[in-house]
Structure 1
Amino acid sequence: MQHFFTLLSARNIELMRDKATWSWNIVFPVILILAVATLFGDKDTQIFKVGVIGPENAAISALKSVRYVQFIDYQDTETALPKLKHHQIDLLVQGGSATRYWLNEESAQGYLLEKILLTTGSQWQKQVVTGRPVRYLDWVLPGILGINIMHTSLFGVGLAIVRLRKNGVLKRLKATPVNAFEFLSAQVISRLSLLLITIIGQVMVLNLLFDFFMEGSYWLLFIIIALGALSLISLGLIAASRSGNEEVTIGLLNLITWPMVLLSGIWFSLEGAPMWLQKVALALPMTHILNATRAVMIDGAGVAGVRTELLVLLGLTLIFLTIASMRFKWHEE
């Protein structure tokens, strides 16, 4: 027991001296709770979603007086109708001089909203669309796969490099002809290959079990996943470029992952959220991965439809790799 208490005391002293670790463990949960409470804690529960096209008129103003209805503005019907077709919104209305509305008659919530809409007293022109409903499982599947990609990419490559640096392996590699770019490239390709094999297996099994919604090309989906994983692996290299402390690196990686978990649309859509929040989300690589993945799987988008997301992910990858190469150290600072 004397040995045990001696070792316990030594470890406690070591932890207390490691101010970065214990202060992070205290501060980070508080920051996370405050962020969630600030962003999402004061909103009423929204039961219905209504898409709006065109300027607001008296009829739409009357409809907006109904509580528990979330209104989402769209630029045109080409963008909004696929949402209604797949039950992602419950009703679509057009303001201005043309008071029209579109309804998916297979939607129970759309049926109730139509009854409310007709009580406004305006002369509405009805149009009907049909389509296979997108289950929440279909919508959230890219988010679940995205979490797996994110954690495998960031923590897998990040902690592996930190351990090599901590154990002195990188210091010995510095004496060889290998340069930082070659070493980091090998780490990236190795992690990416393993990740892609894993994701392909997961997608095949999940498709057999749940017959998830897939409107687009599997090849394009594969390209999006590969490029997204590459960008996240490159981001993980930045976090591990200098540190030799695993606890600090884990804290830094958590700092990187949690904003993406909260703001990238993994569990819920940011449509209807404040515009500043949507702009912040666009700075995160996971947002572009999920937007492109859902566009292909649910909307059947082609390369042109996800071109912006692909270019952003490619650009972020090049930026992250450049920063990681410039910051990389063989030995612990």
Structure 2
Amino acid sequence: MTSYLSLTKAMLIGLSRDKSTLFFTLLFPLFFLIIFGALFSGGQSSPSKVVQIGDVPVLDQVLAADPDAFDEVLELSSTDDEAAAVKMVEDGDVAAAVKQNGDQVQIFYSAADQTTAGIVTGVLSGIVNETNLQELQVAAPEVTITQVTASQVEDESLGAIQYLMPGLLGWAISMSGVFGAAMTLVTWRQKKTLRRIRLSPVSVGAVVGARVGNTLLLALIQLVVFVGVASLPFFGLKLTDYWWMAVPTVMIGALAFLSIGLLVGAVSKTSEGASGLANLIILPLAFSSGSFYPLEAAPQWLQAISYVSPLRYLNEAMLDVMVRGEGPASVLPEWGILIAFGLVFGFIATRLFRWDDI
């Protein structure tokens, strides 16, 4: 225990003195949270998924005339269960849901991507307006005009910060886990610190435990800082009832990325090489995992790639419990995947680990 505490203290002191590491693992992601929180406007590059609730005559009429009319902008599906359709919108599985009762067309959208919601609402409103115009030309003034209303599925007070914060926090945790472990391992190997530790009474378990403890502590600090900043009145973050499940989620995610960092440190011979390899891993993961924008706005090929990224599952788990109001059980699949990533990469790292460069 004495060895463990001494190593933990040494690592914490080293981290506090390394201004570059502090900047890139804490302040740099925080800048993104502040900038995106104030300016985020989203994006769209592929057809938006829309689910029809029952019969929607205004859409069916257009499709009857031209089955390919919406291929470039909308990907339609259908269900008779309104509650299930709204849940799909809340979970981000579809961009919107639409139903029609007589002359009333109701659109359900999510605040997760306000740009996509605006595009879908605009397209559907345009379809209704075009139908109204055609009907007026044929039967004015007796024709009944179809009305369109749009409803956000979440609380109207929710803003983009609800969805930005978990993604950017996940990115920050992935950076601290990978860079922290990789740079520590390489630097200690270059300075022969690992060799001295090996020859000392300190056990390997104490070394690993100290590194794990530092990673978990930093992840919790990141969680507190990000939630604290995002909760300021300017940003207006609102946490759901099960937000506290983000604490074990963050810890499990940090361990998964720690294992990747250990692997990077094991195969890298210099700090420059470790930094380059870590960047080569983290940046693609961030862009393919919804850290900077909702995955629904990404091309289909990028969405497919995201399924092999551990960062996707960390982001999704935090969104479920911090934004979508899902219960504790909702994050269990993501936890399992993150733990599996950690075990696999951790095992590979132990097989490639070297005490020194010789």
TM over 0.5: yes
CA distance in structure 1 between the partners assigned to 2:245 and 2:287 by the alignment: 26
Percent identity over the alignment? 25
SS in 2 for 1:159: helix
Partner of 2:125: 115
User: What does residue 35 of structure 1 align with?
Assistant: none
Q: What SS does the corresponding residue of 1:282 show, helix, strand or coil?
A: helix
CA RMSD of aligned residues (A): 4.1
Moved more, 179-188 or 295-304: 179-188
1:51 counterpart residue number: 50
Query: Partners of 1:87 and 1:257 in 2: how far apart?
Result: 24
Q: CA deviation at 1:287?
A: 0.4
Asked if residue 159 in structure 1 is aligned to residue 183 in structure 2, the reply is: yes
For residue 241 of structure 1, give the secondary structure of its aligned residue in structure 2: helix
1:86, distance to aligned residue in structure 2 (A): 9.6
Paired positions, count: 288
1:92 pairs, out of 87, 92, 97, with: 97
Corresponding residue to 1:174 among 198, 216, 226: 198
1:61-72 equivalences under 5 Å are 65=69, 69-71=73-75
Q: 1:59-82 CA deviation, whole Å, 9 max, x = no partner? A: 457596359734375887555414
2:69 alignment partner AA? S
Structure 1 residues 224-239: aligned runs within 5 Å: 224-239=249-264
The verdict on how the C-alpha distance between 1:90 and 1:164 changes in structure 2, with shifts beyond 3 A counting, is: closer
Alignment counterpart, residue 132 of structure 1, candidates 136, 141, 155: 155
C-alpha spacing 1:91/1:193, structure 2 compared with 1 (3 Å): closer
Structure 2 partner of 1:265: 290
Measured after TM superposition, the shift of residue 187 of structure 1 is 0.7
- CA–CA separation in structure 2 for the residues paired with 1:317 and 1:256: 15
Are 1:299 and 2:304 matched, yes or no? no
Q: Does 1:200 align with 2:224?
A: yes
How far is 1:104 from its partner? 4.2
The verdict on how the C-alpha distance between 1:206 and 1:277 changes in structure 2, with shifts beyond 3 A counting, is: closer
Query: Which residue among 140, 150, 169 is the counterpart of 2:174?
Result: 150
Distance in 2 between residues matched to 1:91 and 1:141, nearest whole Å: 22
Distance 1:277 1:271 in 2: 10
The CA deviation at 1:58 is 6.0
For 2:208 and 2:91, the matched residues in 1 are separated by: 43
Do the aligned partners of 2:97 and 2:108 also contact (CA within 8 Å) in 1? Answer: no
Output the amino acid matched with 1:300: G
**In structure 1, which of residues 228, 235, 253 is the aligned counterpart of residue 278 of structure 2?**
253
The 1:293–1:51 alpha-carbon spacing in structure 2 relative to 1, beyond 3 Å, is same
CA contact (8 A) 2:181 2:258 kept: yes
Aligned-pair distance for 1:249?
0.8
Counterpart CA distance in 1 for 2:225 and 2:149 is 42
Aligned amino acid, residue 311 of structure 2: M
Q: 2:76 and 2:170 mapped to 1: Cα distance? A: 25
Are the aligned partners of 1:72 and 1:271 in contact in 2 as well (CA < 8 Å)?
Answer: no
Q: Within 2, Cα distance between the matches of 1:159 and 1:74? A: 51
State the shift of 1:240 in Å. 0.5
Aligned AA for 2:307?
A: L
CA distance in 1, matches of 2:272, 2:351: 23
1:255 maps to a residue whose letter is L
C-alpha distance 74-234 of structure 1, shift in aligned 2 (>3 A): farther
| 2:333 aligns with one of 301, 305, 308 | 308
The two structures have a TM-score, normalised by structure 2, of 0.66
Q: Quote the Cα distance in structure 2 between the aligned partners of 1:114 and 1:182.
A: 61
Alpha-carbon displacement from aligned partner over 1:18-54 (angstroms, at most 9, x marks no partner)? xxxxxxxxxxxxxxxxxxxxxxxxxx96599451258
Report the TM-score when normalising by structure 1. 0.71
Select between 117-126 and 157-166 the one with higher mean Cα deviation. Answer: 117-126
Q: Which has the higher relative contact order, 1 or 2, with Cα contacts under 8 A spaced 6 or more apart?
A: 2
Give the C-alpha shift of residue 160 in structure 1. Answer: 1.4
Instruction: Give the unaligned 5+ runs of structure 1.
Output: 1-43
For the 8 Å contact 1:85–1:132, the answer to whether it is kept is: no
